[in-house]
């Protein structure tokens, strides 16, 4: 970033729901029955937020390595500190 805010827009598809009960088997009695219809995740926003944060963090890290990369963490830190020093001197 050049100091401006980083704006991220995201989208996700709706949660899949199967409204027709599926055939199943009771594990204790071994009798067939129709599985109940239920949605275990009625709001995917919290989970999507975690995935979105991880994706943004990964891309920011990729851009950081592209700018300051090196063969070791020591070299990356030296490149970063050198850059920060040159920016402050401007």
Is the Cβ–Cβ distance between 76 and 61 less than 8 Å?
no
Helix (H) or strand (E) holding 69: none
Is the Cβ–Cβ distance between 39 and 27 less than 8 Å?
no
Q: What is the pLDDT of residue 41?
A: 63
Q: What is the mean pLDDT of residues 73-79?
A: 96
Cα-based angle 43, 20, 14 (whole degrees, multiple of 5)? 30
Tens digit of pLDDT for each residue in 8-59?
A: 888 888 777 777 778 889 899 999 988 877 666 677 788 888 999 999 999 9
């Amino acid at each position: 970033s050049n100091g401006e805010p980083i704006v991220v827009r995201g989208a996700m598809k709706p949660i899949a729901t199967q409204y027709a009960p599926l055939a199943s088997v009771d594990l204790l009695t071994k009798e067939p029955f129709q599985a109940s219809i239920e949605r275990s995740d009625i709001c995917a926003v919290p989970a999507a937020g975690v995935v979105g944060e991880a994706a943004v963090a990964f891309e920011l890290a990729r851009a950081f390595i592209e700018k300051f990369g090196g063969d070791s963490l020591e070299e990356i830190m030296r490149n970063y500190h050198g850059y920060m020093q040159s920016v402050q001197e401007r």
